[in-house]
Amino acid sequence: MSEESNGISRRRFIGQAAMAAAPLVVPRSALGGRRHTAPGERITIGFIGVGKMANDYHLPTLLGFADVQALAVCDVDSNRRAHAKKRVEDAYSKDGRSYTCDAYSDFREVIGRKDIDAVVIATPEHWHAIPIVEACKAGKDVYCEKPLTLTLAEGRRCIDAVRRHKRVFQTGSQQRSNVFGDFRQACEFIWSGRLGDIQTVTVGVGGPSKWCDLPEEPMEPGLDWDLWLGPAPMRPYNSVLSPRGVHNHFPAWRNYREYAGGGHSDMGAHHYDIAQWALGMDHSGPVRIIPPEDPNAQEGVKYIYSNGVEMTHGGPSGCVFTGTKGTLHIDRGVLTSDPESIVKEPLGDKEVHLFQSPGHHRNWIDCIRSRKRPVADVEIGARSVAITQLGNLAYWTHKTLEWDPAAWRFTGEDADQKLLDRERRPQWKLPKI
């Protein structure tokens, strides 16, 4: 690309983004019923990435909101793109709305439209940070899937972009909205002191990712492979990374370092998020990360917080909190404690009652209108995934890392700030804000 790498390079994007309209803000009380919301009162949405998560979750949920209008879908795969376009048009046709949903292969076409208020980003992990920053600069509010970013530097950049451009941002950490289980209640019990002082936490999720070693495969037409790779190194196509068309499984790009942080980041972004929430660390994090003694281990990394709490990667699925008064185990479909009374006795009026989300997407849309921060704001998402990134770095380097969560940098004599980020292809540098 001929234009500077610190900004989006497409002329159409630059021209349109300069005129980007602010999101419509209308009181909920002014909205009508399921079929009676005036077009001018709807939040307009563009979808960037329409694979399994979008098909299973984002599209059907947001298409069911009367105060939302999907205007565009985007995917590097022509089959997924066409499927999502038809799904939007069919849904609105049944609901009495008739129009054409636009479809694009390049996310910059969506971000550049001045008639789109907000975007939903459900791309692979390595393709989150750039669209997030550019969407914020273009005046769009953002919902982005977890894990929020691939590197620590990307997380800091996303926080700064959201704050500078005053955007409403929801991370796809749906457990904050009590999807899949009683996660909010678990935090309420802990915040209310039922476990006493928390001493240890275990987080049972998968291991770190590895470098990609997949062989080359022939590729059918209709996929922009170069754009799928984006900032990642150029390599031959393999269907494990981007299965063609509409599929009903989560592709295994999650296993490879070029694109993701492995199971440690994938489910870790969910469960470390709950650990952070329960510990009251949404705006902080661990200060020391210690790798296991075995350099080949896939679990066992330890995180030490400034208050002395020790969190370990490993153990039963989900989170186990141990305090001076007992233990609590929270996972999807699991909420148990020892003694049982910790979770069996209802919360009293004077105990902690956290905000009860109306649903992860609904919370985001409501906050677009009120301009408040949603339950999984950008900093919450960035700090939760930062734990998995720090842990993966400890596994990969087999070194103890000293971390300053306020300054967002490594400390100590052996601090290596290069670990904050990684090399990218020149045309896809991390944008300035």
The runs of H, that is alpha helices, within 115-196 are: 129-137, 152-164, 183-191
Token couple for 311 = 């969190």
Number of residues assigned to the chain: 433
Q: Which tens digit of pLDDT belongs to each residue from 308-340?
A: 999 999 999 999 999 999 999 999 999 999 999
**Dihedral (Cα; 275, 278, 280, 285), 10-degree rounding:** -10
Question: Confidence class of residue 14 from pLDDT cuts 50, 70 and 90?
Answer: very low
d(CA 283, CA 306): 13
Residue 54 has what pLDDT?
94
Q: How far apart, in Å, are the Cα atoms of 427 and each of 21, 162, 225?
A: 27, 23, 15
Comparing 181 with 88, the larger pLDDT belongs to: 88
The secondary structure element, H or E, covering residue 203 is strand 198-204
Closest CA to 391 of 382, 379, 401: 401
Q: Does domain 11-176 have CATH number 3.30.470.20?
A: no
Mean local confidence (pLDDT), 293-319: 97
Q: Which tens digit of pLDDT belongs to each residue from 216-227?
A: 999 999 999 999
Residue 21 has what pLDDT?
35
Asked whether residue 43 carries a pLDDT value surpassing 70, the answer given is yes
Q: Which tens digit of pLDDT belongs to each residue from 91-147?
A: 999 877 667 899 999 999 999 999 999 999 999 999 999 999 999 999 999 999 999
The phi and psi torsions of 199 (rounded to 5 degrees) equal -110, -45
Residue 405 has what pLDDT?
98
CATH 3.30.360.10 in the chain: give the residue spans: 178-208+263-353+376-425
Fold of domain 178-208+263-353+376-425: Dihydrodipicolinate Reductase; domain 2 (3.30.360)
d(CA 169, CA 403): 26
Mean local confidence (pLDDT), 161-168: 98
Asked whether residue 166 carries a pLDDT value surpassing 90, the answer given is yes
| 265 contacts 385 by C-beta, under 8 angstroms | yes
Residue 181 has what pLDDT?
83
Residue 13 has what pLDDT?
43
Q: Which tens digit of pLDDT belongs to each residue from 184-194?
A: 999 999 999 99
Residue 38 has what pLDDT?
65
| 222 contacts 243 by C-beta, under 8 angstroms | no
CATH 3.40.50.720 in the chain: give the residue spans: 11-176
Mean local confidence (pLDDT), 290-305: 97
Mean local confidence (pLDDT), 22-26: 35
Asked whether residue 360 carries a pLDDT value surpassing 90, the answer given is yes
Q: How far apart, in Å, are the Cα atoms of 354 and each of 6, 249, 416?
A: 40, 34, 39
Token couple for 232 = 């990642």
Residue 17 has what pLDDT?
40
Q: How much is the mean pLDDT over the chain?
A: 91
Asked whether residue 5 carries a pLDDT value surpassing 70, the answer given is no
d(CA 314, CA 334): 17
Q: What's the angle, vertex CA 407, arms to CA 402 and CA 412, rounded to 5?
A: 30
